[in-house]
């Protein structure tokens, strides 16, 4: 790892002597820089749950054959930029209005020992490296474990959402990272990894689904708010209202959140509502990726039913750098391109901005968020072991499931409340327990500040790339 680019960049490494990489312990133990933003300042939906940031954080872990020493940040920065250009040239995919596809991408390196995916995922965000608003901006942090008995490469990537000109989706950010790994190993990048998807033609049936799902959710929000207002008024008048009726039928404040009334109750109890969601990661053994994927779909559908999420499975379709969305009641539909397109209700667009989450947060009390990052075949020897998906500050009551296959290794994750994980059958279905349990990272808002649609930061913090090409 790193051999090819290091040979070409000896001069730059020597001129940067002593600064090729940062110490992982210093970063992991660093006091998180903070703004004046507190939990009370977070944007919230009508029922009080937090609206997410416009940033997606992904973490990956790979086993290596040998320890990598003296990994260089400039080498890795050059690799991710080269990878972005390779993929853009091979696929024709690039962010809207961006002439140089490499500008949004930057990387740095850390070295440490006995690192875990939980540690690197929970690491603080550096305001001098990450970009608080606007975009496009993609930031990679490569972590090399120096433990000779289990050398690893772990990387965390934070990518930007916003308008179409500010967005680079998680699949594209991951592919650039994987392609950079090929370059760092001195191998020819597999430029065929970007499949060509047929465009989604958003027709009348899709529009009607949008009206039924989104419009129906808005109507239910108003009805529930009216119901809660009437209950509150009756209580003020001294009339007896049972606690169960006033709280939507769930009085412990920590149980399943599978309806808007229960979301109202849940957010009244600040402790569980402000806890991070928990992600459990599985790497099933003894089955092919196709078999593991089918089992994953069955697990997701059973989980949705056991949690009584009545609306169904909310899924995303990748049209890098943009996405589209749909809902289905049957997980088997997710294995068919035809049914995925038929059940779409969100056209190809940038991921939803915070105002739209005023509707999505309540909608996700009755849906399971399902994401499939697809199959990736790359020319590197590193062996994938773990994958964590974390839309930063996505409310913990939003339960989700996702998967990815890298070089024939299938990895799945399930995200949500502990009460939801109690109903998860993944350990039984996969035949083995989770390989990691990772809390969501809740440090973005306190460190980087709240999202501001009017604040357009530069796509890069480097002086030479602070402007887009004309």
User: Taking the chain (470 residues) in consecutive chunks of 10 residues, what is each chunk's mean pLDDT?
Assistant: 38 34 66 73 88 96 93 95 91 77 95 94 94 92 94 96 90 95 93 74 95 94 91 72 46 67 84 87 95 96 94 91 92 92 93 88 94 93 97 94 97 93 92 94 93 60 39
Q: Are residues 413 and 299 in the same domain?
A: yes
345, part of any domain? yes
135, part of any domain? yes
Residue-level pLDDT at 464: 41
Tokens 């589209």, residue located: 324
Instruction: In whole angstroms, give the CA distance from residue 445 to residue 447.
Output: 5
Q: Are residues 74 and 194 in the same domain?
A: yes
**DSSP state string for 211-262:** IIIIIHHHHHHHHHHHHHHHHHHHHHTT----HHHHTTS--SSSS---SHHH
Tally of domains in the chain: 3
Cα distances (Å, whole numbers) of residue 448 to 132, 356, 374 = 5, 21, 31
**For the chain, the helix, strand and coil percentages under 3-state DSSP, each to the nearest 5:** 35, 20, 45
209, part of any domain? yes
Cα distances (Å, whole numbers) of residue 71 to 63, 401, 438 = 16, 34, 26
Q: Are residues 136 and 226 in the same domain?
A: no
Torsion of CA 113, 115, 119, 123, to 10 degrees: 50
127, part of any domain? yes
Q: Are residues 116 and 147 in the same domain?
A: yes
Q: Are residues 244 and 305 in the same domain?
A: no
**190, 379 in Cβ contact below 8 A?**
yes
Domain that holds residue 433: 271-379+394-439
226, part of any domain? yes
Tokens 């790497």, residue located: 283
* Contacts (Cβ under 8 Å, ≥6 apart) of 120: 24, 28, 59, 141, 143, 154, 155, 156
Residue-level pLDDT at 334: 92
Residue-level pLDDT at 21: 65
* Contacts (Cβ under 8 Å, ≥6 apart) of 406: 178, 376, 378, 384
Q: Are residues 430 and 456 in the same domain?
A: no
pTM equals 0.88
Q: Are residues 210 and 191 in the same domain?
A: no
* Contacts (Cβ under 8 Å, ≥6 apart) of 130: 137, 139, 158, 448
Q: Are residues 246 and 284 in the same domain?
A: no
Cα distances (Å, whole numbers) of residue 241 to 107, 228, 245, 268 = 57, 11, 7, 17
**110, 22 in Cβ contact below 8 A?**
yes
Tokens 């947060």, residue located: 361
Q: Are residues 48 and 125 in the same domain?
A: yes
**280, 421 in Cβ contact below 8 A?**
yes
Closest CA to 469 of 140, 104, 89, 160: 104
Instruction: In whole angstroms, give the CA distance from residue 296 to residue 302.
Output: 10
Beta sheet of 22-23, edge-to-edge order: 22-23, 105-112, 138-145, 152-160, 55-63, 383-391
Residue 171: both structure tokens together:
């699949």
Q: Are residues 61 and 175 in the same domain?
A: yes
Residue 387: both structure tokens together:
């994958």
Residue-level pLDDT at 38: 82
CA 227 from chain center: how many Å? 34
Residue-level pLDDT at 468: 38
Residue-level pLDDT at 39: 83
Residue-level pLDDT at 254: 46
Question: With helix as H, strand as E and coil as C, how does 434-462 read?
Answer: CCEEEECCCCHHHHHCCCCCCCCCCCCCC
Residue-level pLDDT at 194: 62
């Amino acid at each position: 790892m790193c051999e090819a680019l290091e040979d070409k960049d000896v001069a730059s490494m020597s001129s940067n002597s002593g600064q090729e990489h940062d110490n992982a312990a210093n970063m992991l133990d660093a006091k998180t820089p903070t703004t004046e933003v507190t939990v009370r300042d977070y944007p919230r939906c009508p029922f009080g749950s937090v609206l997410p940031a416009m940033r997606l954080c992904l973490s990956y872990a790979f086993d290596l054959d040998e320890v990598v020493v003296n990994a260089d940040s400039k080498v890795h920065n050059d690799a991710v930029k080269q990878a972005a250009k390779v993929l853009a040239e091979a696929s024709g995919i690039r962010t809207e209005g961006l002439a140089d596809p490499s500008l949004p991408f930057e990387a740095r390196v850390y070295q440490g020992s006995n690192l875990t995916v939980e540690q690197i995922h929970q690491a603080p965000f550096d305001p001098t490296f990450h970009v608080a608003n606007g975009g496009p901006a993609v930031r990679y942090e490569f972590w090399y474990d120096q433990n000779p008995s289990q050398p690893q490469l772990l990387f965390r990537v934070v990518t930007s959402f916003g308008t179409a000109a500010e967005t680079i989706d998680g699949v594209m950010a991951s592919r650039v990272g994987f392609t950079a790994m090929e370059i760092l190993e001195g191998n020819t990048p597999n430029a065929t990894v970007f499949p060509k998807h047929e465009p989604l033609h958003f027709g009348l049936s899709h529009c009607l689904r949008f009206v039924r799902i989104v419009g129906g959710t808005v109507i239910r929000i108003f009805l529930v708010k009216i119901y809660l207002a009437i209950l509150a008024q009756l209580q003020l008048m001294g009339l007896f209202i049972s606690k169960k009726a006033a709280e939507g039928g769930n009085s412990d404040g920590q149980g399943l959140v599978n309806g808007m009334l229960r979301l109202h109750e849940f957010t009244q109890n600040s402790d569980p509502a402000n806890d991070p969601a928990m992600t459990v990661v599985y790497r099933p053994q003894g089955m092919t990726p196709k078999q593991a994927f089918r089992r994953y779909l069955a697990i997701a559908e059973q989980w949705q039913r056991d949690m009584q999420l009545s609306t169904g499975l909310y899924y995303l379709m990748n049209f890098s750098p943009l996405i589209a969305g749909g809902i289905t009641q049957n997980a088997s539909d997710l294995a068919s391109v035809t049914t995925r397109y038929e059940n779409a209700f969100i056209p190809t667009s940038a991921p939803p901005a915070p105002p739209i989450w005023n509707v999505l947060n309540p909608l996700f009390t009755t849906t399971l968020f399902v994401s499939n990052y697809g199959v990736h075949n790359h020319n590197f020897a590193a062996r994938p072991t773990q994958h964590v998906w974390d839309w930063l500050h996505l409310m913990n009551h939003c339960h989700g499931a996702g998967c990815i296959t890298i070089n024939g290794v299938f990895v799945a994750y399930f995200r949500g409340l502990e009460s939801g994980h109690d109903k998860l059958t993944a350990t039984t279905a996969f035949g083995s327990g989770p390989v990691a349990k990772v809390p969501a990272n809740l440090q973005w808002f306190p460190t980087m500040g709240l999202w501001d649609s009017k604040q357009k930061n530069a796509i890069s913090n480097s002086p030479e790339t602070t402007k887009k090409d004309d």
